A and B are shown apart, each in its own frame.
Chain A
């Protein structure tokens, strides 16, 4: 049994058929990436898993339990956290409050320890803990969104375009942290436009095009696939 199984889901925005019969799986301990162009349905897929959107047909199971009718706020306590596209940190709250919100589902007594753990990964957030989150730089906001998501102690961490809008140095830094999260035992589902970067850390990958999975395989095999090279790796 895989940790996350997505079977033939179809998602609509009104009359727009955004996701067409997508299936994929994520096994415990893996880093799996969904790559594809803008509008391919990557973010929609993640939002459907976390319960913000609903699939019309198909089945999503996590640890064998179907997620279909579970409200988004309960999916978090099952062990899935999402770092949403565009970070979506709480701009008017402090850094510390943002991190606390990430631990909303956990008992108050555990928060301090987990927060220290987040600060180990992101020392810069510790320096700015009392600062209003909206005043952070883009890279810091991304770090905050990631630290916040880790506060729920997820088994599966879903990251939506973590490299978006960041300088190459920061992108490297973010990917190092993704690897560190993975090494500490978190399974990762990564959505990226930066296919190069994503394939370099992932075990397996799926290519999405206009709402469907068109290719899948090990990250290594996709990296050497001619059509992937042409379309996504800029070679």
Chain B
């Protein structure tokens, strides 16, 4: 029973990682850059939904679940706009620049977002009110599953399936895959590469907003650095699963969450992160492209 409960908490955490990792992996796949500010967009999503939920629920008298939906949608809109702005203002001018310049810029954007949040929202952490409360009790109370865990896992699966269908069936999705393989050839097809990259950031950032809401609903401490550790873990998850691969990000996220949860439960809370990253290193030693990543040699 204990085992199951750790597994569920691992799946919950892992689903959050997976949603964040999906954003990382899509942006990496198409723009070939690591958007280290992705984790901080999660934090922005957390704050927007926190304030929105507070304002809407207290002032409008609408039912809580409806206020929560409004808050989530608002967070998604704000994060989408933010993601597109970040891409357009910070990354687009560097399209032809060396990747190191882009990486440093991404770290800069990350600090910019954290410090802006610190300035606007203050250093005092907020206690986030979960958008869904309560637990499902099974086996006469032997196993209790928080509804938020169930919601998180379901949302994660829906997003994964949705993204898979989007990239394999829609015109824009196929254009994204074309850009991810060869931007020059994509342009020769008439694909607007800048627009495609913008769309990718929009999708990734909307996912970050959802991740922010779900993360804070499970772990209710919200502060300006809330996004950074989950961001790094999710990046790890994306690499673990095979960066650029959508099912890889999903699998990597879930496994990372489960490993972390079990490591905390059975080995040591302090060592949990060490164990998580050790597993990553071992996997990458054996499979350099990640679990589902394909190592594609360049054809000449």
Contacts and interface: CB of A to CB of B under 8 A. Distances in A.
B193 interface: yes
B189 A104 contact: yes
A149 B189 CA distance: 7
Contact of A104 (B171, B294, B299): B171
Interface in B151-207: 171, 174-175, 177-178, 181-182, 184-193
Interface of B is mostly: helix
A93 B176 CA distance: 11
Contact of B177 (A72, A82, A86, A93): A93
A104 to B, nearest CB: 5
Contacts of B175: 101, 104
Q: What range describes how many residues of B lie at the interface?
A: 20 to 34
A108 B172 CA distance: 12
Contacts of A100: 174
A73 B177 contact: no
Contacts of A101: 174-175, 178, 186, 189, 191
Interface in A57-110: 71-74, 76-77, 81-82, 84, 86, 88-93, 97, 100-102, 104-105, 108
B97 interface: no
A77 B174 CA distance: 19
Nearest to B177: A93
A93 B174 CA distance: 9
A152 interface: yes
Contacts, number: 73
A101 B179 CA distance: 11
B296 A76 contact: no
B298 to A, nearest CB: 10
Contact of A77 (B178, B190, B294): B190
A50 B188 contact: yes
Contact of B299 (A76, A91, A149): A91
A77 B296 CA distance: 32
**Which 7 interchain pairs have the tightest Cβ spacing?**
A76-B190, A105-B190, A72-B187, A88-B185, A104-B190, A104-B189, A101-B189
29 contacts: A50-B188, A51-B187, A52-B187, A71-B187, A73-B187, A73-B192, A76-B189, A76-B190, A77-B190, A81-B188, A82-B188, A84-B184, A86-B300, A88-B182, A88-B184, A89-B185, A90-B181, A91-B181, A92-B177, A92-B181, A93-B174, A93-B177, A93-B181, A97-B177, A101-B174, A101-B189, A104-B171, A104-B175, A152-B190
Given A100-B174, A134-B299, 17 more contacts: A71-B192, A73-B192, A76-B187, A76-B188, A82-B188, A86-B300, A90-B178, A90-B181, A92-B181, A92-B296, A93-B177, A93-B181, A101-B191, A104-B189, A134-B296, A149-B188, A152-B190
